[in-house]
Amino acid sequence: MKRKIISMSLIVSTTLILAGCSSSKPEVVAQPQAKNVILLIGDGMGFGQLEMARLLEYGTEGSLNMQKMENFAAVTTYSADNVVTDSAAAGTAIATGTKTNNKSVGIDSASNDLESISEALQAQGKSIGLVATAGVYDATPATFGSSVKKRSDKGEIVRDYYDAGWDVILGGGTKYFAPKKQNGVDMIKEFKAKGYTYVTTADELANVTDTDKLLGLFNYDQMTFAIDRDEEDEITEEPTLKEMTMKALDVLSQNKDGFFLMSEGSEIDGAGHGGDAAWSWKSAIEFDEAIKYALDWAEEHGNTLVIVTADHETGAMMPTEVFGRNLEAVRSQKKSTTEMAYKLKLNEKGTEFTLESIKEALAYGGIEITDEETEVIQAKLNMEYVGDSLRYNDYMIGSFLADKFGYTFINQGHYDGGNTYGHTGTWVPLFAEGVGSEKFEGVINNTDIKGLILEATQ
Which of 47, 9, 59, 75 has the alpha carbon at shortest distance from 318? 47
Cα–Cα dist 255/372, whole Å:
61
Q: From the DSSP assignment, how many helices (H) and strands (E) are in the chain?
A: 18, 14
The verdict on whether 87 is a catalytic residue reads yes
Q: Which of 87, 104, 147, 280 is catalytic?
A: 87
Q: Which residues have a Cβ under 8 Å from the Cβ of 118 and sit 6 or more positions away? A: 95, 128, 130, 144, 145, 164, 166, 260, 262
Which of 123, 212, 196 has the alpha carbon at shortest distance from 161? 196
Q: Which residues have a Cβ under 8 Å from the Cβ of 405 and sit 6 or more positions away? A: 277, 322, 323, 326, 329, 330
Cα–Cα dist 378/119, whole Å:
50
Strand partners, 346: 353
Q: What are phi and psi of 25, to 5 degrees?
A: -70, 130
Task: Report the C-alpha dihedral over residues 183, 188, 189, 190, rounded to 10 degrees.
Answer: 70
Cα–Cα dist 131/249, whole Å:
11
Cα–Cα dist 244/226, whole Å:
14
What residues act catalytically?
A: 87
